[in-house]
Structure 1
């Protein structure tokens, strides 16, 4: 049994448990977390703590420090601060209501009432729509109740209330942040955005810190439209020359002031000329019909860029303006191509105007004229480069012993100041290897890669195989010619002998009329002849009968 002192001690704590501290207000957004923090008296650091609902019966306990985590509930006890915190994850609308933080003890537990309020995270029912044009500036206004005039205010991008304050763009404490600027009156605050881009379009939340309640939010939806002009054009000009820009305008603006300005954005565009009169190298001419023109003389490199021309200086959105992108080129006489063979020479021709006859001539190498490195001048030759000036209308540069490094872009001219104009020539030199008419034989090395033999191998093959064949053919042809000549000569000699012998035989026949003697003499003569070269006349002679001879007697 308990003593009277123990009962009195328990009664005191029962009284403390029934007279709980003030209600703990907790605010949470659907889908986010809710953190419930409850304090307890000194001396209860080691006691078990828990969160419960309803009557806090056995089934009403949601989580205890002994458990640590139960479903969507987790609890941690900071004994140094005598505070324990319960976290409810993925809060739902049904989680709203009354809870109890409790400290378990002998007798009546210690209870602290908790009221959880839940709201949707996405804001809001009422939306303010704001429209702006690219490169423009826009103000977004946020109203609030007068009693919140001194409350903390802020603006964030997006539509989620739970993270808005942490992601604030500007606040009452940070009133300037890059393109965003904060301003406030008694009943509203404004945020001004400059240099609007398409990426700025979307939802913004205006937040005002509540007084022991949810922060008060309002939503602004920003729409960004392309700032429209008649069209966007491109114009090209030559340095040192003139260019004319055309700017159309509507008929109702015929009497309006016309202008041309320069700048990447129209709101930072600097006027260079108006219809009031010419300015420096810019001259505006209004045809009083449907367009005006602006002529820029003596073009300089700094003239390149973006121009805007129009007939409404108020920059009223609409089709009253033209955006022109002007690009400039540096002009030369022409661009040429030259080809050469490695190891050989090549000559480059460079024309120049007559008035530059006595000027210093030069040839330089480089992709761009402003980084071009001089290789030779009219002052004298340099290494393998020799410049020859005909003193007429052109000069030439001869490059000897061409190397692979000689290929590339060359500039030649007669004005070392690079004054824009037709005083220069751009030459693209390409080089090729000498190509033999005999295709090199392809061989394969042990690793499998293909090798190509050089000209020495080709010559070797010619000497070894082709030349002996040619010599053999020559010997055969010569032998045939000599043989034919010998046969013809021998045949001629035999014909002469046969005729002589025939005459002699006839004479003898007439003298002796003896056929046998004549025939014997002819046979002996035949035996001394060359059987290989017997002519037709000789055969006829042999067939000549003795009767014919005898008859002639």
Structure 2
């Protein structure tokens, strides 16, 4: 292989490796949060990764970072995917220390690395906001107040939109009242951002910054809360679904047991009623008898006795007996002496 061919191969290999490391994931860079406070961080990705698993990873180096939570899990760290917005959010509660973190989408291809972007989480009192979730109506306005410390008095202040990273920079010379985004600094370590003429498309994530610090803010317009965890329909877990099914099954089982107990009780009551009838039969009905008479002479002793007539009696099935016996209910037999 010639020297030029070798150089060309190395160049192509380097270009391939560089292209393979291009990431589409985007997030903030240096998020400020108070010690013990909470913050929600947006992470956006390209449309081709809608179905890929998303996760939050902690560690200075990507290859050695530790996965904290996958999407649609809950706990102290909650990761929620919003495919309709090509976005997932990471909600951190009771933050106690600074560190480097990664937003990532799992590619599961040995030739292609996971799509990711990193940020640094800073425990700081130097920048914060009055409210990190603000609501407004279409055509109306909202105001976000950003607070900064004396150390950031003279740093650059900005208001930025996350979806396209467009930023509005605060300068004291800009006093136009026709702009959709207006700044005001009260000189008491805070500046306000007012967005007017709101549209549905203004719903989304923003951030205010002072110097190198950033604090995310979500704005909802007209009830549209796209990108917020509390309104995401996929938050229910398989455990919740299983619990619901168990409750329904339990209720059905209870109803079946109650129905079976009632049925057995009724059956036993019916059996007892029949048994009481068998122990107390109806009064005996008068039987109708018929007889045939045969005459003979009794010679049992020397004492002269009257002749005895013997009869055989046949008992037939008694007819229905009325309250007053009919006239022919008794048959008389006549006896003739020889």
Shorter-chain-normalised TM-score: which range?
A: 0.3 to 0.5
Higher strand proportion, which one?
1
TM-score by length of 1: 0.21
* Higher RCO (CA 8 Å, separation ≥ 6 residues): 2
